[in-house]
Amino acid sequence: MLQRDYTTSQLDVLEAEAIHIMREVAAEFERPCLLFSGGKDSIVMLRIAEKAFWPAPIPFPLMHVDTGHNFPEVIEFRDRRAVELNARLVVASVQASIDSGRVAEETGRRASRNRLQTTTLLDAIEEHEFDAVFGGARRDEEKARAKERVFSFRDDFGQWDPKNQRPELWNLYNSKIRKGEHIRVFPLSNWTELDIWDYIRREGIEIPSIYFAHTRSVFERDGMLLPDDEVVQRDEDEPLFEAVVRYRTVGDVTCTGAVVSNAVTVEQIIEEIAVTRLTERGATRADDRASEAAMEDRKKEGYF
């Protein structure tokens, strides 16, 4: 890492920046939490948190917004990681929001709990009085995110106002808020998908098995491969077939597509990404395809 001319590698620069951001939050907020979904970005974020406070434990809880439609491999991973790190895990349940009548389940073939998560998330932030919420979003994911700040202000309705964002200069972050407001913090803002994988490889970080190629029963819809699962509604004209696939992103079972792949190691995944011609969201997320401004609209409401 250390060369005589003090050049620093891209992963070291990104890691140092992310650690700095985490420590700023721990120092300036009273009740931060870290959104941990068991997906690769949040796994990397968790490793950064481990590094930032070592040898002390991570000084804030983890929170997962559980749609009830998750991949079992990911839930198992989530629970195990929390125990290993001796971290407190808060699970905010979309099912509970439905049961209590806070939100209504969508119906129909394309029903998804994706949008319902926002209410569950905002309710949990309010209930636990979280004033800073770490998210693993990256600016290269989506064009509304390309403009979002590292410290992204949310009003007391949890809303994002993209046209009225606080300027962010140097490494100075404004953490001033009133009671009821909060800041979404994105320590991985400047990472790309490839950086995430390079880092996972370099650090030897464990990730859930569904990121690697495996045989799965799937069907095709809108060019995406959706899994055979009791919560995914499938039509007669959508036959099942077996395919060797892996996941590039981990979201709700109902709207996350798999990609055909033979990659069984992190190295092979990196090779595959280096030549791919589709963004990870474009390839695998039905939720972002809805419209040109789908993400911007959901984010304004308070989505991740």
* Interface with another protein: number of residues (CB under 8 A): 62
> CA-CA distance, 221 to 203, in Å (whole number)?
36
- Interacting residue with another protein among 30, 107, 169, 237 (CB under 8 A): 169
Closer Cβ to another protein, 123 or 288, answer by number: 288
Q: Of the listed pieces 71-79, 116-124, 260-268, 276-284, which binds another protein according to CB under 8 A?
A: 276-284
Specify which residues 218 forms β-bridges with: 227, 241
Closer Cβ to another protein, 13 or 240, answer by number: 13
Closer Cβ to another protein, 6 or 237, answer by number: 6
* C-alpha distance across the termini of the chain, in Å: 34
- Interacting residue with another protein among 166, 241, 265, 267 (CB under 8 A): 166
Q: Of the listed pieces 47-55, 68-76, 212-220, 261-269, which binds another protein according to CB under 8 A?
A: 47-55
| Contact between 189 and another protein per CB under 8 A | yes
241 φ/ψ sector (left φ>0, alpha ψ -120 to 50, else beta):
beta
- Interacting residue with another protein among 10, 93, 209, 268 (CB under 8 A): 10
> CA-CA distance, 198 to 200, in Å (whole number)?
6
Which parts of this chain interact with another protein (CB under 8 A)?
Answer: 2, 5-10, 12-17, 19-20, 23-24, 26-27, 50-57, 139-140, 143-147, 162-163, 165-172, 174, 176-178, 189-190, 192, 194-195, 276-279, 282-283, 292-293, 296
